C-alpha cells in the first residue's frame, strides 16, 4: 500500500514509516496531555472566580503570567480577577506590554475598574500610545473617568 512517507523517501521501508509515526504519536499525545492539564487548570480557575472563591485570584494570576496559555485564556483570566492587591495590579500593569492586544485591553479594563493611585494612572496614560485602537480608546476612557474621580482629585490636591 503506498504512503506519503515512502513515496518521497524511497530508500525507507513502510515499517520505518510506521515506526516514525508511532514515535511522533507518543510526542503528540504528551503535548495533548500538557494542553489538557493547562485547560483543566484554566477551567478550574475561571469556575472558582465565577463562584467567588477566595483562592481564585491566585489561580488566575498563575494563568495570566504563563505565556503557554493562549491569549484568549489569559485575557479571560484577567477579566475574571476580583481583587485589587498590589501583586495583581503589578501583573496587570506588566500585561499592558503583552504582545497580544486582547490581553493588553483586558489589563487596561482591569486597571480602570479596580486599581487606584498615581501608578495606575501613569500606566493607563502609557497605554494611550498603544498600536491597537481599541486599547487606546479603553485607556482614554478610563483615564478620563479615573482622573475626574473625587478620590483622585482629593489625592492630587493633598500632594
User: Distance between CA 21 and CA 4 in Å, rounded?
Assistant: 12
Can you give the pTM of this predicted structure? 0.69
Q: How deeply is 118 buried, as exposed, middle or buried, from its count of CB atoms within 10 A (0-12, 13-18, 19+)? A: exposed
Q: Could you read off the pLDDT tens digit of each residue along the chain, which spans 159 residues?
A: 455 666 676 777 777 666 655 544 444 444 445 566 677 888 899 999 999 998 899 999 999 998 888 899 999 999 999 888 889 999 999 999 999 999 999 999 999 888 777 788 888 888 989 998 988 898 888 888 776 655 544 444 454
HSE-up (13 A, CA, CB side) for residue 94: 13
d(CA 72, CA 117): 28
Domain architecture of the chain: domains with CATH: 4-158 (1.25.10)
Amino acid at each position: 500500500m503506498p504512503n506519503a512517507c515512502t513515496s518521497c523517501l524511497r530508500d525507507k521501508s513502510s515499517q520505518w514509516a510506521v515506526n516514525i509515526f508511532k514515535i511522533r504519536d507518543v510526542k503528540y499525545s504528551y503535548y495533548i496531555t500538557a494542553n489538557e492539564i493547562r485547560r483543566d487548570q484554566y477551567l478550574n480557575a475561571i469556575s472558582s472566580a465565577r463562584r467567588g472563591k477566595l483562592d481564585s485570584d491566585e489561580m488566575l494570576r498563575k494563568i495570566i503570567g504563563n505565556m503557554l496559555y493562549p491569549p484568549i485564556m489569559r485575557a479571560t483570566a484577567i477579566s475574571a480577577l476580583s481583587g485589587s492587591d498590589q501583586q495583581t495590579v503589578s501583573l496587570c500593569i506588566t500585561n499592558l506590554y503583552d504582545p497580544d492586544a486582547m490581553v493588553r485591553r483586558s489589563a487596561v479594563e482591569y486597571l480602570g475598574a479596580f486599581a487606584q493611585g498615581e501608578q495606575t494612572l501613569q500606566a493607563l496614560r502609557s497605554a494611550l500610545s498603544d498600536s491597537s485602537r481599541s486599547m487606546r480608546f479603553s485607556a482614554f476612557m478610563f483615564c478620563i473617568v479615573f482622573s475626574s474621580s473625587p478620590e483622585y482629585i482629593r489625592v492630587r490636591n493633598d500632594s
